Amino acid sequence: MNKAEVSALFAQQFNEAPSFVIASPGRINLIGEHVDYNSGFVLPAAIDKYMYVAVSQRNDSQILLHATDLNQNFQTNLDAALQPSSSGWPNYVLGVIDELRKDGHVVSGFNMLITGNIPIGAGVSSSAALECATVFACKHLFDLDISKQSMVKIAQRAENNFVGVNCGVMDQFASMFGKADHVIKLDCADLSYTYFPFKLEGISIVLFDTFVKHSLASSEYNTRRQECETGLAALRQQFSITSFREATLAMLDTVADSISDKVYNRCKYVIEEIGRMEAACNHLLAGEIGAFGTRMYETHMGLSELYEVSCPELDCIVENCKKENDIVGARMMGGGFGGCVIALVQTANVEAVYNRINTAYQNKFGRNMGKYLMHIGDGTRLLD
């Protein structure tokens, strides 16, 4: 969508032109899954699918939200403490407003229209895109002095504190800092980052969608985080380390008797994935795309067997990807328990590969899987 189209929807709803229109992208993550909240490195990128937000300031303290794609409205008043909505989607906006006010920023009433083309429930972070769009809109609407780094942290805290998902910072960072044709090597400990060019000749980034909604993801996500914290605490009692980045499997074996098998497996996955991420970046720099793909398959195995955030549908797709010579690598992506498999596929054979894997998926589950071709796009921005 362009600015004119989003503005027309806003005018239809609110009988005025918006002051600003913002596009904020979803994200993919090539490798480094579930390590962003464990002080690891990740390799995400923004995608060319967006949440669009149009806003105008009001002369009262009302917040009026309209979600075009859901055909739903929400209204609240800033004079009282903001309360989570049972509808779910307004909370990504309200959480940002709540965090801005906690930081001492002055926010008054506004009208907001929300629309977009990010596949919902596919694990490409439509929620982070909406949070980033909201904080970016408020920065411009209320002339707030906030850096991009601060906006990322506000968006993350909104999800942690108001929505109640104890997520790491990767999704919001990728949405805000995305750069076309580049992946971001992000250090989740201090938010330092490096852009890597990522335009592979003859290879496409494809998402295969299970169409399984990750209803377990929020609660299990928080559980995984607690399990990792338990394991790290045990490691810290024995060794002078601050994070999993300094931990080794030998250290983990030393404390194995003091933690449960589950906690051991979670920690083993995290330590291995941090190592895989470093190896994968070196493969990219060396142009070793086949070796990079191997790391992706290893990540999936760890997520499925050690971290236990996969599901039969995701595992089925990855197993069938392994049979395809035209697929360089594949793994489940995102929180887990549904969503998508990310695969690097020879561009010329995407349709044929999809058809074969979809046939196997149909035979096992009695329904089709989805397919999205993803291109790496720019981060959150004002539309001109």
Q: What is the CATH number for 93?
A: 3.30.230.10
Residue 85 to residue 269: CA distance in whole angstroms: 36
| 27: containing domain | 3-198+378-382
Q: Model confidence at 216, in pLDDT bands (50, 70, 90)?
A: low
Q: Looking at the structure, tell me whether residues 278 and 330 fall in a common domain.
A: yes
Q: Looking at the structure, tell me whether residues 238 and 151 fall in a common domain.
A: no
Q: Looking at the structure, tell me whether residues 175 and 241 fall in a common domain.
A: no
Q: Looking at the structure, tell me whether residues 7 and 41 fall in a common domain.
A: yes
Amino acid present at 222:
N
Q: Looking at the structure, tell me whether residues 310 and 194 fall in a common domain.
A: no
Residue 122 has pLDDT above 80, yes or no: no
Q: Looking at the structure, tell me whether residues 175 and 248 fall in a common domain.
A: no
pLDDT tens-digit readout, 344-366? 999 999 999 999 999 999 999 99
- Report in angstroms the alpha-carbon separations of 206 from 186, 329, 335, 345, 374: 22, 11, 18, 7, 6
Q: Looking at the structure, tell me whether residues 133 and 31 fall in a common domain.
A: yes
Q: Looking at the structure, tell me whether residues 46 and 92 fall in a common domain.
A: yes
**Mean pLDDT of all residues in 14-39:** 95
Count up the domains in the chain and report the number: 2
Could you say which of 36, 171, 209, 315 is catalytic? Answer: 171
Q: Looking at the structure, tell me whether residues 282 and 298 fall in a common domain.
A: yes
CA dihedral 90, 174, 225, 154 (to 10 degrees): -50
Give the pLDDT of residue 217: 60
Kindly state the tokens that stand for 205. Answer: 């980034």
171 belongs to the catalytic site: yes
pLDDT tens-digit readout, 72-82? 999 999 998 99
Q: Model confidence at 198, in pLDDT bands (50, 70, 90)?
A: confident
Q: Looking at the structure, tell me whether residues 322 and 305 fall in a common domain.
A: yes
Q: Model confidence at 214, in pLDDT bands (50, 70, 90)?
A: low
Q: Looking at the structure, tell me whether residues 57 and 112 fall in a common domain.
A: yes
Q: What is the CATH number for 336?
A: 3.30.70.890
Q: Looking at the structure, tell me whether residues 56 and 133 fall in a common domain.
A: yes
Give phi and psi for 54, each to the nearest 5.
-115, 135
